[in-house]
Amino acid sequence: MFTGIITDVGTVRAVRAESADRDRRFEINTALDTKSIAIGASIACSGPCLTVVEKGPGWFAVEASQETLARTTLGEWGAGTPVNLERSLAAGDELGGHLVSGHVDAVVRILARSEAGGSARFEIELPPALAPYVAEKGSVALEGVSLTVNEVARDRFAVNIINHTAERTTFGGMAAGRRLNMEVDMLARYVERQLTARFKG
């Protein structure tokens, strides 16, 4: 479990796979204290929850299955790709964002970026299947970052990125056309499921 509060932006230093149709191994440089990261630990890497399989001073390695590569943007990663990193939530940690599982629901695109009162406004495409889970002033995770939805239309929604977030995540360098890993708020999923079951019953 995660909170969507990014604690480091790492960089992919190597990508390894025996062939294009095999699982992929990513080595990621990080400022996180790798001495305190256990082999088998979970780290959210720009959204997806991945398992640490090896580590060294200033770096760790994770592996992504074909399923993960197909359902996220990880298949597009190469050496030099910046990655939003968050370690899993520990008992007693502050819940600064919202509950994030690290399971990506869809890959979406940035439709537009504009400046709004000193922050950056991003318009994001909204897949029809996920529309019931996205509400104004609700939460969404994009690239592993917990964000508040400011506006929702039929096929898109908008979020604002303040300078602090832009400087400490990969959003600072993003522009229209960029593909993002998206996870909807799990609480919204449960509410929708309960309402659907009630009406069916």
On whether the CB atoms of residues 50 and 64 are closer than 8 A, the answer is: yes
Does 96 reside within a domain?
A: no
Residue 148 belongs to domain with CATH number: 2.40.30.20
Q: Do residues 60 and 133 share a domain?
A: no
For residue 142, the model assigns a pLDDT of 98
On whether the CB atoms of residues 147 and 139 are closer than 8 A, the answer is: yes
Q: Helix, strand or coil for residue 198?
A: helix
Residue 151 belongs to what domain range?
Answer: 106-200
Tell the residue number behind the tokens 């943007």, with chain if given.
Answer: 73
Does 93 reside within a domain?
A: no
Beta bridge partners of 122: 113, 159
Does 78 reside within a domain?
A: yes
Name the domain count of the chain.
2
Q: Do residues 119 and 153 share a domain?
A: yes
Measured distance CA(165)–CA(146) in Å, rounded: 10
| pTM for the structure as a whole | 0.91
H/E stretch holding 118 reads none
Q: Do residues 74 and 127 share a domain?
A: no
Which amino acid is it at 96?
Answer: G
Per-residue pLDDT of the chain (201 residues; tens, 9 = 90+): 899 999 999 999 999 986 777 899 999 999 999 999 999 999 999 999 999 999 999 999 999 999 999 999 999 999 999 999 999 987 667 777 788 999 999 999 999 999 988 899 999 999 999 999 999 999 999 999 999 999 999 999 999 999 999 999 999 999 999 999 999 988 766 566 555 655 565
Does 164 reside within a domain?
A: yes
For residue 97, the model assigns a pLDDT of 76
Does 92 reside within a domain?
A: no
Residue after which a domain boundary falls, among 30, 60, 87: 87
Of the candidates 65, 89, 123, the one whose C-alpha atom is nearest the C-alpha of residue 5 is 89
